[in-house]
Amino acid sequence: MPKVLVTGSRGQLGSELGELVSDEGYFFTDRDTLDIADKDAVARFCDENGIDTIINCAAYTAVDKAEEDLENADRINHLAVKYLAEIAKEKKIKLVHISTDYVFDGMNYRPYVESDPTGPSGVYGSTKLAGEEAIKKINPDHTIIIRTSWVYSSFGANFVKTMLRLGKERESLGVIFDQVGTPTYARDLAAAVLHIVPQLQNEDVQTYHYSNEGVLSWYDFAKEIMKMAKISCQINPIETKAYPTPAKRPHYSLLNKGKIKADFNLEIPYWKDGLDDCLRKMGERK
């Protein structure tokens, strides 16, 4: 029986993994039960429980707050990831690390492939990239990095829940139309991770991209949420400059998923199917 440590168990992806897994060999931890920035504590946990795989879902994801909280963002997104990679190498443990489209500058004209130059424009993306680079430098066997984008779930706080709440409170909303990418239903990503883990055999660290299939803007996403939930709120397209934020968002986040589909014989659901499933699970699909 595999012995798998899942960090960030209260986040969107960690929560979805918790629902999909019935195996007693999975250990779900959060920051209150295991501080992943404490290398000794993590190493001890792995020894005591015979861990052979780590799925790192933990991250500092408050993109705007990170601009003024570099120390904590770096601690979780970079240093803790470095420690996990060191432990994975020392103890011959498989490692799956979740990263982000924010490692790119968002100025591409075609879907990003894994080898495209990175260029984060904020603290969140910079610290996530530093975590990626630490893993690659340490280079533990059977380790992969999965970059994803626009994650939502029936768990936690996310764009879908915000739109549902505001749509019921207001007659109209302005939503950005000039940022383009693809939503990722965390449950679909969780299923993909569970499909991939038994197949990990790579010697050098490999990077992959995962989101649901399709392409759209935040405006399009909001329109479909209202349509599926039968909420009468009017959605109006606005430009990014009309909604300034402390951290700059990528204008283009489309990820090319050819590599992950080919290497792991993976089928990826269409974004509307993921949204439909999520809304049904929340009791919001009308």
Mean pLDDT, consecutive 10-residue stretches, the chain (286 aa), reads 94 97 91 96 98 98 96 98 98 98 96 97 97 98 98 97 97 97 98 97 97 98 98 97 92 97 98 98 94
For residue 22, the model assigns a pLDDT of 82
For residue 28, the model assigns a pLDDT of 97
In angstroms, the CA 66 to CA 61 distance is 8
pLDDT digits (tens, 9 = 90+) for 28-60: 999 999 999 999 999 999 999 999 999 999 999
- 232 exposure class (CB count in 10 Å sphere: 0-12, 13-18, 19+): exposed
SS3 for 180?
A: strand
Total count of domains within the chain: 1
In angstroms, the CA 246 to CA 248 distance is 7
Q: What are the CB-based long-range contacts (under 8 Å, 24+) for 47-53? A: 47/91, 49/3, 49/5, 50/3, 51/3, 51/4, 51/5, 51/27, 51/91, 51/93, 52/2, 52/3, 52/4, 52/93, 52/94, 53/2, 53/3, 53/4, 53/5, 53/93, 53/94, 53/95, 53/96, 53/197
> Is residue 60 in a domain?
yes
For residue 57, the model assigns a pLDDT of 98
For residue 179, the model assigns a pLDDT of 97
Among 31, 46, 114, 42, which Cα is nearest to 83's? Answer: 42
CA distances from 270 to 31, 70, 184, 212, 239 (A): 33, 35, 10, 6, 26
Catalytic residue among 26, 60, 124, 152: 124
> Is residue 194 in a domain?
yes
**CATH number of 78's domain:** 3.40.50.720
Q: Quick check: is 210 catalytic?
A: no
> Is residue 234 in a domain?
no
For residue 1, the model assigns a pLDDT of 81
> Is residue 243 in a domain?
no
Q: What is the pTM of this model?
A: 0.97
> Is residue 12 in a domain?
yes
